[in-house]
Each structure stands twice: as structure tokens, then as C-alpha cells.
Amino acid sequence: MHDIRAIRENPDAFDAALKRLGVEAASPSLLKIDEARRAAIHEAETAQAEQNAASKEIGKAKASGDEAEFERLRALVSEKKAAVAEMQARARDLDAELTDALMSLPNLPFEDVPEGADEEDNVEIRRWGEPRQFSFTPKEHYDLPCVQDGMDFETAAKLAGSRFVVMSGAVARLHRALAQFMLDTHVTENGLTETWTPVLVRDEMMYGTGQLPKFGEDSYRTREGWWLVPTAEVTLTNIVNGLTVDESYLPRRYVAHTQCFRSEAGSAGRDTAGMLRQHQFEKVEMVSVTHPDASLDEHARMTGCAEGILQRLGLPYRTVVLCTGDMGFGARRTHDIEVWLPGQQSYREISSISVCGDFQARRMNARMKPADGGKPVFLHTLNGSGLAVGRCLIAVLENGQEEDGSVTLPEALHPWLGGKTRITAQGELS
């Protein structure tokens, strides 16, 4: 959420930043609501002061025996009391209207974020690894002989509909091993705190990280009013919701492996084959809560954590900085890591790492008390996949495929697979 005081001080800069995102100027309407809200607050405070002054005079009039003055003052107090209540109610309504308007606006990009309309305008900043040269035409993951029995979309469709999968045997074990490998690496080597959180959350938590009010259709809601989390970003970030923490508390670096749920409302017809885009999937999510001065360095550190997983697995990737037209709602800058998929002959996103500044902290009212005793300030938050487990499974299968239909597995995973090194063409670990 944005600071109305900053908008008030420099509305042109605010609108110029929104324009880079393709969003129309918002300051005129925001400032109109803000002006009316402040006027209502001032009127309520003035009427309250008049009510208090009249209340003090009532006792004097009563003591002096001036019954007419007493009745006049009592009527005035009653009148002012009603006026104060009315003005306070109007101020609250205007405050809620302003909050709703501010919450519907995206975060502002950093000035160095490249401008662009969509993913075609993203800017590559580095690559790692060379795509393997196959002596045969590589297949997509769902066409590999070794996964025909272990990746069952037909049964999943019977159970739940499209965009679900039933995994079994070696494929299911490889999927689990990947998640364990990621978690253990982030905890033991990257210093993150392993965390287990609910997958059902309240409205306030979805508001806090920016999924609501604008993107409710992208998530699932239960009849009881809980939301199924689209990512553990929601729960991990909201750990500090409503808190004011000491500076010494920071940084906080969390990692969690959770089920994630997305309706994919805006992706009809995209990636319908295989398990690249599912309604239910798993991610190992990283969240950092930092001092405002440390968030940019933390963004680079988190990007390195995610890249390190792919390097350990020997999977070629490229890292891009998203342009203004492709960034998420809450980000000021986002790095996407795209892994090479031989079956598609293209790089596909496997992680997005975003620095949000104080955007989410304002929504959550999460602050830090400086060590020098200064006024509390809003925290900075960051989030990123470390990594999407299902997409990593796809990348391991496609990059390790052999002409006989088997898959050679990355050496880094062998300890998590009981020393097994491959999946045979018949779908068995060996």
C-alpha cells in the first residue's frame, strides 16, 4: 500500500511511476478523497472541542442557578455530540474509501526497472550452464517412457478435473526428494529458518501480501471464508503482521515447503499439456523480512540462493529482470529465473524473486524500532521461489532423458534417493 503523504507531496512523480506500469494517473482521485477525509476529521475535532467547552460551562450555569443558560448549553452539547458522531462516521467512511483505493494500486517500480509491455521486453542479466546437445530429439516430460505410469493425468482428471496430476512410484519419490533437497540446502547452507505454516488463511492475510482485494479470482476460497494459499509467501510474510519489532530482530529469513493452490483464472489455454501449470502444486518458498537499508542486498542474496539450487542440479538457466509490464502487483523489482527445458527448446520460469520495499509492510502495519531509539519505520519484505518443485521435476526429467527412455538423475539428488542414480525406461529407480 502507498503512503498518502508521499503522494500528497509529489503527485506528479507518483502518477509518472504508475504510467510506467500502464496504470492511469491516480493522484487526482486519491487526493480528492484525502482532502474530504481531512476536512471531515478537522470538522469533527472542531465540533468535539466546542462540545467539550460547552460541557465545562454546564456546571457553572447550574451552580449559578441560570436555568435558561443551563438548558441552552445542554441542548448545544447534545447537538454537538450528534454532529461529532456524524462527522466521525463520515471521516471513517472516507478513510475506508481511501484505503480501498490505495490497496487496489500496484507497487511502484524502481527507476532502473526496464520499461516494457510483456515478457518479450524482459532483460536477461546472466546465464549459467550450456544446454545439452542431444543425439536424438528430446521429448517433453509427459512423453517420456519412464513417466508414463508415474504421471497420471487421466486419473487426476477423473478425481478433480483438468490441471491436476497423480504421481506415483519413482516420479513421486523424485518429486519428494527434490523438495527435501531444496529445504535442506536452504537451511544448512543458506541460513534460512525452516517453517511450517497453514495453507488456509484469513482475508486479512491475503490483503497483507496483496492478493486481495484485486486478485481474489486467482485463488480458491472455502465456504467457511478461509483462502487456500497461492504460495507460502502469504503465511511467511504475515508472521510479522501487526508487529513492531526491534532492529536486532532483523533480518528474518524463512523457508517453507507447502502445497499451493491457484485457479489460473487468467491463463485459459496456456500450458494445458503436462504438469507445467497446475491448480495444485508444491513450492519451496523463501521470504525475508529486513531493515529498509538492507533489502536490495537481500534481493541479490535470495536470487543467488535460488540459482544455487539449479547449479547443484546441473540445470542450465538464465536470470532476467522483469520489465514494468510483466512485474507482479507487489514488486518493485523482480528477478525471474528460467530453466532450460529441452522438450520445449526454451527457457521457462522456475522462480520469481521480488523485493517489495515497504509496500506489504504498510498493508500489514509491520514496523521496526531503530536501535538508536528513533521513530518506528516500516519493514521491508522480499519473497521468492526456491524453487517450484513440479517445474524442477520437469527440468530434471527432460534434461536427464536418454534415448532408451530412461533418465539420468543429478548427482546432488543421489543421497535423497537412497543412492539411486537413474529412472529406467520402465519407470523404476535403479
Pairing mode of beta strands 317-321, 333-341: antiparallel
Q: Is the dihedral of CA 248, 382, 337, 2 positive or negative?
A: negative
Is 45 flagged in the annotation as binding? no
Instruction: Determine the Cα–Cα distance for residues 211 and 232; give it in Å rounded to an integer.
Output: 12
Contact 260, 218 (CB under 8 A): no
Superfamily of domain 4-103: Serine-tRNA synthetase, tRNA binding domain (1.10.287.40)
Is 27 flagged in the annotation as binding? no
With vertex at residue 421, the alpha carbon angle to CA 126 and CA 315, rounded to the nearest 5 degrees, is 10
Torsion of CA 287, 352, 322, 316, to 10 degrees: 130
Which helix H or strand E contains 86, and what residues bound it?
helix 67-103
Based on the residue annotation, tell me whether 352 is a catalytic residue of this protein: yes
Instruction: Determine the Cα–Cα distance for residues 107 and 95; give it in Å rounded to an integer.
Output: 20
Instruction: Determine the Cα–Cα distance for residues 408 and 386; give it in Å rounded to an integer.
Output: 23
Based on the residue annotation, tell me whether 277 is a catalytic residue of this protein: yes
**Grid-cell match 533480518, residue found:** 251
Residue 40 DSSP class:
H
Based on the residue annotation, tell me whether 262 is a catalytic residue of this protein: yes
Residue 191's region, left for phi above 0, alpha for psi from -120 to 50, else beta, is: left
424 to each of 115, 148, 212, how far by Cα in Å? 47, 12, 46
Contact 281, 394 (CB under 8 A): no
Is 399 flagged in the annotation as binding? no
**Grid-cell match 539428488, residue found:** 413
**Residues forming beta bridges with residue 370, ordered by sequence position:** none
Instruction: Determine the Cα–Cα distance for residues 369 and 383; give it in Å rounded to an integer.
Output: 22
Of 20, 37, 253, 262, which one is the catalytic site residue? 262
> Does CATH place domain 119-423 in 3.30.930.10?
yes
Rounded to the nearest 10 degrees, what angle do helices 295-313 and 389-399 cross at?
40
Is 428 flagged in the annotation as binding? no
pTM for the model: 0.93
- pLDDT, residue 80, reads 76
**Grid-cell match 478461509, residue found:** 226
Is 64 flagged in the annotation as binding? no
Of 127, 277, 312, 318, which one is the catalytic site residue? 277
392: which 3 cell numbers? 524442477
Rounded to the nearest 10 degrees, what angle do helices 169-188 and 389-399 cross at?
110
Is 25 flagged in the annotation as binding? no
Is 29 flagged in the annotation as binding? no
Of 295, 352, 354, 406, which one is the catalytic site residue? 352
Which helix H or strand E contains 75, and what residues bound it?
helix 67-103
Of 86, 194, 247, 349, which one is the catalytic site residue? 349
Is 262 flagged in the annotation as binding? yes
Is 10 flagged in the annotation as binding? no
> Domain segments of the chain: what residues?
4-103, 119-423
208: which 3 cell numbers? 497483507
Is 285 flagged in the annotation as binding? yes
- pLDDT, residue 267, reads 60
Q: pLDDT, tens digit, for every residue of 24-64? A: 999 999 999 999 999 999 998 888 887 777 777 776 766 67
Of the chain, the percentage scoring pLDDT greater than 90 comes to: 87
- pLDDT, residue 382, reads 98
4-103 matches 119-423 in fold: no
Residue 378's region, left for phi above 0, alpha for psi from -120 to 50, else beta, is: beta
Tell me which residue of 79, 1, 96 sits closest to 40, measured CA to CA: 96
Is 264 flagged in the annotation as binding? yes
Based on the residue annotation, tell me whether 391 is a catalytic residue of this protein: yes
Pairing mode of beta strands 252-261, 407-408: unpaired
- pLDDT, residue 63, reads 67
Q: pLDDT, tens digit, for every residue of 124-178? A: 999 999 999 999 999 999 999 999 999 999 999 999 999 999 999 999 999 999 9
Tell me which residue of 269, 301, 327, 305 sits closest to 386, measured CA to CA: 305
Of 391, 398, 402, 406, which one is the catalytic site residue? 391
For every residue of 342-385, DSSP letters joined together read TTTTEEEEEEEEEE-TTHHHHHHT-EEE-TT----EE-EEEEEE
For the chain, list residues with pLDDT below 50. none
